Structure 1
Amino acid sequence: MLIFELPSGNRSLKKRTVLFKEDLHEIWNSILIPTPKKYSILLVLQPNQKSMKQVILYFVFVVAMLAVACSGPKVAKTPAVSGKTLAEKAAAEGNFAQATEAWKQYFAASPLEKTSGADFAQAAQMAFKAGDATQAVSWFDQARYKNHADAAMYLTLAEIYKTQKNISKELTALEFVEANYPERKSETSQRLFQIYHEIKESQKALTAYENLSETQKLDLPNLAELFDVKKELKDTVACDELSLKILEKQPDNRSALEWNAWKYYWKGENRYQREMNKYNSNKTSKQYKILLEQLELSTADFKKSLVYLEQLWKQEPGKKYASYFANIYARFGDEAKAKSYEKYLK
């Protein structure tokens, strides 16, 4: 606000001053409006101030003083920069919940088009560590929208989807890492092997198993799952070998015990049926001799089967295994034992 008090009766000076006041108003605005403060100036001309020159000099002096007062270094951080700094500081201190809140403030104060995908991915990691999986997935989605990708991002997504039991999305994330970051296979192969086994993708499961470390390959859970995969592929030779490896590590493993029990039982039973049919169709002394030799081999297989069946019986006595015992003892000619197991079949 500019107020001029002029001597009365000096019409020419008043006219000139009013016109000049309009000019000064434009100059004044261009100088002071950008500053953070607002000022009012009372400019008074005393009667002895006779010329416009004095007005100009006085005005220039006031403006110069205000310019000096308003000048000086200004240090101001935008909320966005401060929020990001706070987030990184909180993360470094292990305060992931605080870091997550700081990231929220940062994103709220930052234009989306100027926010990087890397920032969204970094914030998502903090949210995940803070236990906020929903927020983590949301920020990871923003990172992907920004065409950002890194192995840690997809490994964390896989972990989130695993917790949510979303096997389809988990598999997609793991396969992305395996395809794009082969150096991280050691972090994906174990879970990929488990998933492929679960969804019956046997060939893919075998590939994933080969990517495991030598130590992982010999872990009991992995041997057991590989055993199941080989059974699905009907690879009996591999199953024979794997079942014994499993029993070395876990003698009461039911799946491995059953494999060997059935293996020797049917080997003995099929031989018995085959040789009896041969003898019944050709009852000669020569054929009878062959029959006796073959029945000895059949008996040996039945006895091997019994070793595994007896361990299974301890785990689950009853109908499931009783028929095998009854038939084996019937082949041995031991009617009493055969009948003792037959009662479980009623």
Structure 2
Amino acid sequence: MTFQQVSEPYDAYDVLVVGGSGVDTVVSVGALPVPLADSYAVPPLYEGAGHTGTGVALGCAALGLTTGFVDFIGDDHPGTLVRERMAGSGVDFRPLISPHGTRRAVNLVAPDGRRMSFYDARDPAELRMPPEHYLPPLRRARHVHLSIMNFARFLYDDIEALGLPVSTDLQDWDGLTDHHREFALRSDLVFLSTAGASERIAVVMREILHEGRAEAVIATAGAGGAYLLSADDRTPRLVPAVVPPGPVVDSNGAGDAFTSGFLYGRLAGRDLEECARLGAVAGAYACTSRGTHTALVGPEELHAALRAKATAPLTAPPGGDGHRIPGPPDAQVSPTGA
């Protein structure tokens, strides 16, 4: 691997995102699941930079946070698409060139905006980011967000030594797969989707909170809203969904936008409930355009929508005992939020 030549880094970062860049190919289909057939005629395909780290970085920058981003990309056409998307976005993107190429995903999107993603990770298990690449920006960060790339787990010791708060998104973790566990237990803010654990999601959230260092666990449920669990809660609290400012076109990137809105609030000193509301607004906004990370909410729009939606209180989810939380629609979520 080789270093990508970039400009001098910023003096400081509000958020440093590690890992999770890639390219999405979006295919519009008539329904999910797609009925078995030899071939389908579909509208023109969309191809562009996507994946979870890209979305969090772009979302944070659009909200005015000084944002750094370190990752591996390939010296290939998809890598060029990632670099072009980052150019002029406000994100200080500092990639390493990997011979394994840029990560890809093919996302099937239904008319109601739901999606199914097929993720091509590419990175070998032994891939590591050299400390001389990530330590300089890490030392200038207020907050670190780790995507669940395998190489990113090896940054935890340095993050803890520097005393930095860290967040992660476990995507559709079922609470069992070992790959996600270290991220779950060594992060201060843990985001995940309800899709993986389904009816066990409240149990998984409590295990993360009680066994790890998290101050809060947030599970997103698409149109069903999200659930917030902190040390002060007996059961997860429902964060009501926000009506998007336009028709729902594509849910790709909504979870990443939620994370960006939440981090924006947390870095401004907001309490967890308001952070979750900010996340819900940002996530809803992201669903109003085709493609991944193509509709990014700004701070003025975020606060205007939050004021308009501030009348709905946070309530306990159905079931009361926290053992059953309704899951999202049956769309599948990729391991990277691609």
TM (norm. structure 2) is: 0.21
Q: Which has the higher contact order (CA 8 A, sep 6+)?
A: 2
TM (norm. structure 1) is: 0.21
| Rg larger in structure | 1
- Structure ranking higher in strand proportion: 2
